Structure 1
């Protein structure tokens, strides 16, 4: 049976190129380290090192096995850390960014309950509709709609079934009528938002068979998605928003979903970070916490989530 100590001696010897140096690093006597290598070679029925009085180098079999030995030690270390973290309360500072509307109206109360469950955790929240630079800004993770544009970023799904929907307040519809077809949007005031100076005036929908797009216009636009939602609540026009952002308003009757048979673009919510090393226990627990709340909202969506 393979022994963990023997694997450690083998890997350290290969890395250092010296059995005596590996023995010193592992606080073993040279005789014990040498016995560990011999025992491992006997277990594998393979010679792992070519030895001479002046040098020690890996054989072809040793180079092949080194990859597996390193992976095994890394997996065991990660499993140990996971068990240890599971017994410890999470703490420290977690810095995250989120879209303005989602952050103010949904995430804030969810973070309250999360921090109540983990009082040793400190949170720093940055809200805005511009994507935070995870390599330059003081942010550990970000909640974002859509897949990351930078393929080097790590993305974990939070609400993959989310979509955009077309909405308006009952007051607006009473005054201006309800659109029945996409072509009707041209006669309505559409509330627009901007990201990085670009006006999103092309709204896309699906009829179940194909994607359809329509260019819209209106008398108001903002780079803050929460402002656009507030204009819609005030009866100023139609809004094209993520279902998560308007679900509470729809359920409370403050907004109505229009053209329910034609859902808008997919708007998956993801948790983004720069490196997998940042996916510690606090991040995983927060992702699960937010995902549970999002799933409850998606359960009442007017489309199959």
Structure 2
């Protein structure tokens, strides 16, 4: 008889390409995971993986069997959710991935509130600017900035009207002045962001004639979006940030929006997961909470004041 734990290890090993990584997720030794796969192969009388000292890959039989294994495990999870009913308290574990700045400074208190309402639910929050692979990484859902064009997974809008804004601290503008136009950014210290080895030193602004790219420069670069925000707070330069990440700082006066009449790059926030069937009651409630909390922040974005100097700011 096929063991469910063996089936789950097979699915995770296929996703991660490693028995060792799959074993670590469930606190097993690598040898125990390998033994579980061998046991499953004996039950099925097929070879699921082609193994070598350096690689692990699915056989053709393993590739054909994988979607059935995933569907079986999902059906069991759905059955469990159905038995609990809509009024049953949430339990289990929800693994969430979020961008560094948003995760630490915006989402964290909302997660605390969510846990207070659902104390039986364990939450694992993974905070990183690396784009999470919801198929391979050990997460249930990911909150992700940007347009979602990949049809292989499901994306629910959380803050579709979010966009980037230019910000600097009052201390910076007191020393260096405020740029009167996008062209003037070339004379300012701008804070650049690095992702996967690429420095994003050309800032994009949508216009009626298409996208406009503005070359920027500055002495500080980081691969952590929260570090860029902290540099801006410290008066080190101008940052081009998601409004959701800096809204609280702007409201508190720690940062000022520069060129508010200039429309920044669209940066929608979405909740992403591999399949619609994974929208468990916990995921649905969290999606509703984050969407509800983001709505008033986006209202503030729409009410940003425009200064007279901004009318020619695209020049």
Q: State the TM-score, normalizing by the size of structure 2.
A: 0.68
Distance 1:299 1:240, change over 3 A: same
Structure 1 segments of 4+ aligned residues over 6 angstroms from their partners: none
Distance in 1 (CA, whole Å) between partners of 2:91 and 2:160 is: 28
Distance in 1 (CA, whole Å) between partners of 2:301 and 2:125 is: 27
Distance in 1 (CA, whole Å) between partners of 2:180 and 2:253 is: 20
Q: Is the 8 A contact 1:207 1:262 kept in 2?
A: no
- For residue 90 of structure 2, what is the aligned residue in structure 1? 90
| Ranges in structure 1 where 5+ consecutive residues have no aligned partner | 1-77
Q: Is the 8 A contact 1:195 1:223 kept in 2?
A: yes
1:20-44 CA distance string (max 9 Å, x none):
xxxxxxxxxxxxxxxxxxxxxxxxx
Q: Do structure 1's residue 202 and structure 2's residue 202 form an aligned pair?
A: yes
Q: Is the 8 A contact 1:95 1:139 kept in 2?
A: yes
Distance in 2 (CA, whole Å) between partners of 1:102 and 1:193 is: 15
In the TM superposition, 1:59-70 aligns within 5 A as none
Distance in 1 (CA, whole Å) between partners of 2:230 and 2:145 is: 20
- For residue 116 of structure 2, what is the aligned residue in structure 1? 116
Distance 1:299 1:233, change over 3 A: same
Distance in 1 (CA, whole Å) between partners of 2:251 and 2:303 is: 15
In the TM superposition, 1:181-192 aligns within 5 A as 181-192=181-192
Distance 1:136 1:215, change over 3 A: same
- For residue 249 of structure 2, what is the aligned residue in structure 1? 249
Bigger Rg, which one? 1
In the TM superposition, 1:215-230 aligns within 5 A as 215-230=215-230
Q: CA RMSD in A?
A: 2.1
- For residue 234 of structure 1, what is the aligned residue in structure 2? 234
1:168-213 CA distance string (max 9 Å, x none):
0000000001001111000001001111111111112245665322
1:39-96 CA distance string (max 9 Å, x none):
xxxxxxxxxxxxxxxxxxxxxxxxxxxxxxxxxxxxxxx9xx7796312111110001
| Ranges in structure 2 where 5+ consecutive residues have no aligned partner | 1-77, 305-315
Q: Do structure 1's residue 264 and structure 2's residue 264 form an aligned pair?
A: yes
Q: Is the 8 A contact 1:147 1:155 kept in 2?
A: no
Q: Is the 8 A contact 1:189 1:237 kept in 2?
A: yes
State the 1:302 CA deviation.
Answer: 4.4
State the 1:301 CA deviation.
Answer: 0.5
Distance in 2 (CA, whole Å) between partners of 1:180 and 1:294 is: 30
State the 1:299 CA deviation.
Answer: 1.1
Distance in 1 (CA, whole Å) between partners of 2:272 and 2:256 is: 31
Distance 1:303 1:154, change over 3 A: farther
Q: Secondary structure at the match of 2:230?
A: helix
Distance in 2 (CA, whole Å) between partners of 1:299 and 1:139 is: 31
Distance in 2 (CA, whole Å) between partners of 1:120 and 1:142 is: 21
